[in-house]
Structure 1
Amino acid sequence: MDMETFSQDPSTTSKGKGKSYEVEYETLSQKLVEELMQADVEHISAIFGVDSATAALLLRHMDWNKDRLIDKFMDNASSVNVAAGVTPASPASSPGPDRSRRSTRTTTKSLKKAEPAPTPQPFVCPICFDDSQVETLALVCGHKFCTGCWGAYVSSKIREEGEHRIICMGENCSVVAPDPFILRALDDDAETAARFQELVVRNFVASNKNLKFCPFPSCTNTVSCPAAASRSTLTTIVPTVVCGADSRHKFCFGCPIEGDHRPVLCAVSKMWLQKCHDDSETANWIKSNTKECSKCQSTIEKNGGCNHMTCKKCKYEFCWVCMGPWVEHGTAWYSCNRFDDKAGVEARDAQSASRASLERYLHYYNRWANHEQSAKLSVELYVKTEKKMEEMQLTTDLTWIEVQFMKKAVDEVEKCRTTLKWTYAMAYYLAKGNEKELFEDNQRDLEKAVEDLSELLESPIEPENIPTLRQKVTDKAVYVSKRNQILLEDTAQGYLEDRWRWNVAVEGFD
């Protein structure tokens, strides 16, 4: 679907690309998204000569792809109408001339003798079997039900099942209820009607690769980011966006991660999170409680006091203490007098290689988890900082605005710890070489600066030292921000120049 140029009004905000690690995007309110939807509906309505409700059903059926809808509709309008639920599927009618003759005979007969009007029969709703109902509703298929059953059915579909495409209650009927019918069935239930409209908007956004709904709870804003709409672009950019409703509503446009995972690409961050989910606790337990078989390297847990081990996989017998073959221990197994035997050394070398891989993963994971935990603890640091800011106001002549340097410094620490967290995920998958060493140099400089700033924020406040503390915190916060920009800029430039090499296969890279 083609997106028109968005009009600038108070409900939209634009974010221009200022740095190489940033992307251009635009935030849209639900009202503006509804206007975009209505423009598409009016366009189709004018071309096909149908009402707006019918045009909306046709567009939803084709996932809001106007060009595809026009092509299909021009080829066979009847089949598209049936598939979209606009008209019911019915058997082929008799040829036209025959129908005309039957119609003529009936008319002639009626002129000869007027038949009495049929006696009104009480209506029995096929759903609730209540014969006292006087208000009914029916779609174009003619399946009639009482308004109470329609209201309950429509409300249940919207509120409990999250459906925006509501099919007729008639058996084997595929007719879809248009929007005016749904609103009439809901009567005065404004809350459910608003939920229905939100579901329709979500369907429109989900059908457009240039749009993404803000994932934060209760937020109805949408982000437009054409620069990150294709998979190929995700090998060179990390499309972090903010929905505009709240600065904390930061998420990745290119993947489901609800947060800023710069400088790591979406494909790499996905691999890392999956590995952490599968391996973190298991790896720690394996490291502490198991060893590898000296012959087949199967992981073995010692479940008894005896050091005479037998691998269940290959039946190899070895000593748990020195990892040498058990046959050479004789009756003096407890002394491990063959500790320096060649076979024992080779076995230990094989185990060391296996353990080295585990140790390497835990090295990066523990540091990743530590920065994640430190970022979460920033909430407590905010509380401490507010108290310090109040103390400064009471003990000095500084105004509330002038003591905001503490809060800004805390914000910078939290942002940079998030960056540091993801640098360890990237470093884990980077191949050895000069580029990785330069990346880790930038990582080290940022980490050292962040720790220095955190220590300053934790330091006690003495009235006579406040001017000095203010200067130190301000200077260090500026330096930390600069180091963070240098790391992100260099990494983003590396993606554009294809400098980075991975030690595993990464989606999108040869």
Structure 2
Amino acid sequence: KLLDESGVQSNPDSRSGVKTKPPHPQKTCGVCLESFHTSKPPALGCGHQFCQRCWKQHIEFAVKDGMSQGIPCMEQKCNLLCHFDFVRQFYTLPQDPSLEAAYNAHLFRISVSSHYQLRFCPGVDCTYVIYGETPKPRKVQCTGCKTTFCFDCGTPPHIPTNCETIKKWLTKCADDSETANYISANTKDDKLPSTQSLIRETKNTFIPDFCWMCMGDWKNHGNSYYECSRYKENPLIASTNSQHQAREALKKYLFYFQRWENHNRSLHLEAQARSQIQQQIEEKVNSNQGTWIDWQYLLRAGELLAKCRYTLQYTYPHVYYAESGPEKTLFEYQQAQLEVEIEGLAWKLEHVGDYQRGDVENQMDVSEKRRQTLLARFVTA
């Protein structure tokens, strides 16, 4: 009686003292809907039971299809995965070398993906695994294919922007919804803004009078602070209609995206310039205009320029999502200071014949200090 009330089935034959062997219970497979008899039906810890033939086919198909996340239970909405011993009881893998190799590769992927100190290299066709003693967002480089990436999220290195923010930014840049926002913001406009020509031509020589970042008049920028790196939001935008709000949101996005893209293009152009510098150094050495060591500072300057510009490029997603306040204001100020020094270094490297070695090296030192100051203040260790 106690067993019946507690929900535990009792054996009625045990009361009479007659020992009988209970028949194997009959089960219905939830996949093929056929009945099967077994004293111990195959099941995972979740308790969902299916016939042995369905389990075997399910495991075999899963192994051949790749099993990116493991072999799941066949029950709908059950997330439990099949462990190694459970798989082995249905399929003798050594009988099929290709299947065994696929399953071992699956186990290896699962082991690496679930280990907090291991990451697969995201390089194309690269099978290297990166080990990190202290897992955190940081730049790592594969020793095989030389691909650099963030150890925590697998995207390209993105300091000082954190992993969550850079994922949102990259998704936003690739999302087609920005096209819809543009259409919404620019539909039914009475007139479009006119284009101003800020380059004047004199005797076939183009003299720039504008900032290449914002296309604004250069004389309005001042000497120490790039106003064009800061986006001035409209404080009254919340009280306007949806079309004006869409226009403002698009304007803010394009402001930061254009600067992001400008620095990205500069990185590619400056990479080509470094190749030209390498060639020029070889020519100077071959013509006895100094030794190889004498001209190494130019290569160091090019590498430092790329490192500083890459950091500057990834400051824009951070500012785009940052909330207004003293922290954002300080970040924008240091961002502008870094940009001033980077453009100064780029100019001197481009016109290296007009500057002494000490001028270039001094600009390198100031640029790196600006970069380190920004990272030390806003990057969490």
Q: Partner residue of 1:175?
A: 90
Deviates more, 1:427-436 or 1:269-278: 269-278
CA–CA separation in structure 2 for the residues paired with 1:217 and 1:254: 19
Which one-letter code corresponds to 2:143 in the other structure?
G
Q: 2:166 is matched with which residue: 235, 251, 269? A: 269
Letter in 1 for 2:374: L
Q: For 1:74-473, list aligned pairs within 5 A.
A: 89=52, 161-162=65-66, 175-178=90-93, 180-183=94-97, 200-225=107-132, 227-228=134-135, 238-245=137-144, 248-257=146-155, 259-278=156-175, 279-284=177-182, 286-287=184-185, 289-291=186-188, 350=241, 352-459=244-351, 461=353, 468-473=355-360
Say if 2:159 and 2:379, in contact at 8 Å, map to a contact too: no
Alignment of 1:49-68 (within 5 A): none
Compared CA separation, residues 356 and 79, structure 1 to 2 (3 A): closer
Partner SS, residue 130 of structure 2: strand
Contact 1:280–1:365 at 8 Å: present in 2 too? no
Code of the aligned partner of 1:450 = I
Residues of 1 paired with 2:317 and 2:123: CA distance?
24
State the 1:426 CA deviation. Answer: 0.7
Letter of the 2:171 partner, please give it.
Q
Q: Deviations over 1:106-125 (max 9, x none)?
A: xxxxxxxxxxxxxxxxxxxx
On the 8 A contact 1:371/1:421 being kept in 2, the answer is: yes
The offset of 1:423, in angstroms, is: 0.7
Q: 1:418-469 CA distances to partner (integer Å, 9 max, x unpaired)?
A: 21122111111111121111101110111111111112222264xxx6xx54
Q: Distance in 2 between matches of 1:285 and 1:358?
A: 10
Give the distance between the partners of 2:143 and 2:327, measured in 1 at CA.
36
1:451-507 superposed Cα distances (whole Å, 9 cap, x missing partner):
11112222264xxx6xx54333333223222221211111124xx7xxxxxxxxxxx
Match of 2:375 among 488, 503, 508: 488
Shift of 1:290: 1.9
CA distance in 1, matches of 2:309, 2:273: 13
How many residue pairs get aligned? The number is 270
Distance 1:223 1:419 in 2: 23
**2 CA distance for matches of 1:353 and 1:291?**
15
- Whether contact under 8 Å (2:161, 2:317) holds in the other structure is yes
- Give the Cα–Cα distance (whole angstroms) in 1 for the partners of residues 106 and 126 of structure 2: 13
| Secondary structure of 2:90 counterpart | coil
Shift in alpha-carbon separation, 1:470–1:390, aligned structure 2, 3 A: farther
Distance in 1, matches of 2:300 and 2:181, equals 38
Task: Provide Cα deviations, 1:279-308, integer angstroms capped at 9, x if missing partner.
Answer: 445555555x4248xxxxxxx999xxxxxx
Cα deviation, residue 79, structure 1: 5.9
User: Which letter maps to 2:111?
Assistant: F
SS for the counterpart of 1:264 is: coil
| 1:286-338 superposed Cα distances (whole Å, 9 cap, x missing partner) | 55x4248xxxxxxx999xxxxxxxxxxxxxxxxxxxxxxxxxxxxxxxxxxxx
Shift of 1:356: 2.8
> Could you tell me whether the CA contact under 8 Å between 2:160 and 2:315 is conserved in 1?
yes
What percent identity do the matched residue pairs reach? 30
Larger radius of gyration: 1
Is contact 2:119-2:151 (8 Å) kept? yes
TM-score by length of 1: 0.45
Given the superposition, is the C-alpha separation of residues 449 and 176 from structure 1 closer, same or farther in structure 2, using an over 3 Å criterion? farther
* Letter paired with 1:475: N
Given residue 244 of structure 1, which amino acid in structure 2 is its aligned partner? Answer: T
Structure 1 stretches lacking a partner, 5+ long:
1-75, 91-140, 142-152, 167-172, 187-191, 229-236, 293-299, 303-345, 497-510
Shift of 1:251: 0.9
**In 2, are the aligned partners of 1:283 and 1:358 still within 8 Å (CA)?**
yes
Deviation for aligned residue 1:363: 1.1
Report the alpha carbon displacement of residue 360 of structure 1 after superposing the two structures with TM.
1.8
1:403 is paired with a residue of what secondary structure? helix
Residue 387 (structure 1) shift: 2.1
Per the alignment, do residues 402 and 286 of structure 1 end up closer, same or farther by CA in structure 2, a change over 3 Å counting? farther
Structure 1 residues 181 and 471: alpha-carbon distance in aligned structure 2, compared to 1, 3 A threshold: farther
Letter in 2 for 1:249: T
The reply on whether 1:475 has 2:362 as its aligned counterpart is yes
Q: In 2, distance between residues paired with 1:386 and 1:371?
A: 22
Deviation at 1:414, TM superposition (A): 2.0
Question: Superposition RMSD on alpha carbons, in Å?
Answer: 4.2
TM-score computed with the length of structure 2 as normaliser:
0.58
Letter in 1 for 2:164: A
The separation in 1 between residues aligned to 2:266 and 2:287, in whole angstroms, is 30
Do the aligned partners of residues 363 and 163 (structure 1) sit closer, same or farther apart at CA in structure 2, a change above 3 Å counting?
Answer: closer
Counterpart Cα distance in 2 of 1:198 and 1:469: 58
Over residues 108-150 of structure 1, what are the superposed CA-to-partner deviations in whole Å (9 max), with x where a residue is unaligned?
xxxxxxxxxxxxxxxxxxxxxxxxxxxxxxxxx9xxxxxxxxx
Higher RCO structure, 1 or 2 (CA under 8 Å, sep 6+): 1
**1:446 alignment partner, SS class:** helix
Is contact 1:409–1:477 with CA below 8 Å preserved after alignment? yes
**Alpha-carbon distance in structure 2 between the residues aligned to 1:285 and 1:376:** 31
Which residue of structure 1 lines up, in the alignment, with residue 213 of structure 2? none
Q: Decide whether the 8 Å contact of 1:260 with 1:418 is kept in 2.
A: no
